[in-house]
Amino acid sequence: MKKAKFLSFLIAAFFSLSFVKAQTADEIAAKYVDAIGGAENWKKVNSMVQTGSMSVQGADVSVVRTVLHNKGSRQDISLMGMNGYTIITTTEGWNFMPFQGQTAPEAMTADDLKESQDELDAQGSLLDYKAKGHSVELLGKEDVDGTDCYKLKLTLKSGRVETMFIDAKTFLLVKVITVRKANGQEMEFATTFSNYQKLPEGIIIPMSISVPLGPGFSADFSVTKVEVNKAIDESIFKPAK
């Protein structure tokens, strides 16, 4: 009887030591940064150009995402020979979506621009997040599509809130839920990440980014080329005349 009690105590201690070690939000953020290649490598990233494609009902849509750290970001979409883009800089933002009938670029509202400022961070929000004015809070663990994840609430300096689900084993990001406010409404976007690959620069990034549209359907952005620290002509952050 005594032995049995001791055994159960020992087992409990064993499990608590190895599996239930409390993690803080800070530790998880740090482990995440390590998992994606480490702070040192990421701090060297000044620009990133990701080229890839999306499939919409079998039709190919090509997408190029360019970020120049803290200066500008631009996303180009081309479909059926039409080219559209979204530009964000520290002072202005533009949208041009000819497939939606737009004939000229439209300036973003001040609110949208403010909400989008964090997209200029080419190094990722969790790197030096405190210095950037963001905050994180650990909301516990949650199962995401069968994967045990840490649930981290990231409140960005801009006020935008992202809920990050970080794989408890690999510390890679599995899913993000972003709440965006626009014109007095709140909208939720879920994005999932996979196909993590290491680049020559030592950083690790997801080459598949998927926005679920419903069971069995999703919009998938698959990255075919990543260029890090390529010289970026800042004139691309102005809308074409």
Partner 1 sequence: MKKILSLLLALVPTATFLPAQITSSTFGMMEARHLGPGTMSGRITDIKGVESDGGKTIYIGTAGGGIWKTTNAGASFKPIFDKYVQSIGAIAVDQKNPKILYVGTGESNMRNSVSIGDGMYKSTDGGDNWTKIGLDSTEHISKIIVDPANSSVIYVTAPGALWSDSKHRGLYKSTDAGKTWEKILFISEKAGVADVEIDPGNSNILYATSWEFRRYPYAFNSGGSGSGIYKSTDAGKTWKELTNGLPKKPFGRVAIALAPSAPQNLWAIVESENTGLYISSDAGETWKQQSATSNIVSRPFYFSTLEVDPKDPKRVYRPATGFSYSSDGGYSFADASNDGGWVHSDMHALWINPANTNLMYVGTDGGVYFSLDRGATWKFCNNLPVGQFYHVSADTQEPYRIYGGLQDNGSWVAPSAFPGGVLNGNWQAIMGGDGFWVQPDATDPDFAYAEYQGGNMSRINIKKGTSVFIQPQAAAGDEKLRYNWNTPIVTGSKNIANLYAGAQYLYKSTDHGASWTKISPDLTTNDKRKQEQEKSGGLSMDVTSAENHCTIFTISESPLDENMVWVGTDDGNLQFTTDAGKTWTNVAANYATAGIPKQTWVSSIEPSKYDKNTVYATFDNHMYGDHQTYIAVSNDMGKTWMKFESKEFTGFAHKIKEDVVNKNLLFAGTEMGLFASVDGGKEWFRMKNNIPWYSLVRDIKIQEETNDLLLATHGRGIIIVENISPMRTITPEVANNDVVLLNDKPVTLTMGKYSGQFPNASGDWNGGVSSVITPIQYYMKERANTIQMEVYDKNGKLLQKLSPSNRKGYNKVVWNQRIAPPKTAKGGNQVEMAAFSAPQVLPGDYVIKMKVNGKEYSQTIKLLHDEKNKEFTIQDRELQYKTGMELYEMNERLAKLVDSINVTQTLLKKNIDSASNKKTKTLLQDYWNKLEEFRLTLVPPMMKGTGDLKRLRSDISEVYGAVVGQEARPSNLQLQRAEVLKTELAKAEQKNEELKQQFEKKVMEAIAKEKMKKAEVKRTKDK
Q: Using CB under 8 A as the criterion, which residues of the chain lie in contact with partner 1 when the complex forms?
A: 3, 6-7, 10-11, 14, 55-59, 79-82, 98-99, 101, 103, 139, 143, 145-147, 153, 163, 174, 185-186, 194-196, 207-208, 210, 212, 215-220
**Chain centroid to CA 25: how far?**
17
Report whether 87 contacts 237 (CB < 8 A): yes
DSSP category for residue 146 = T
Q: Least distance to partner 1 from the beta carbon of 28, Å?
A: 16
Nearer to partner 1, 48 or 174 (CB): 174
Burial letters 67-79, b for 16+ CB under 10 A, else e: bbbeebbbbbbbb
If the CB atoms of residues 12 and 107 are measured against partner 1, the closer one turns out to be 12
Minimum distance, C-beta of residue 204 to partner 1, in the bound complex (Å)? 11
CB 160, CB 173: distance < 8 Å: no
- The residue (of 79 and 120) whose beta carbon lies closer to partner 1 is 79
| Least CB distance to partner 1 at residue 224 (A) | 13
CB of 7 to partner 1, least distance (A): 6
Q: Are 228 and 48 in contact (CB under 8 A)?
A: yes
Rg (C-alpha) for the chain, rounded Å, is: 21
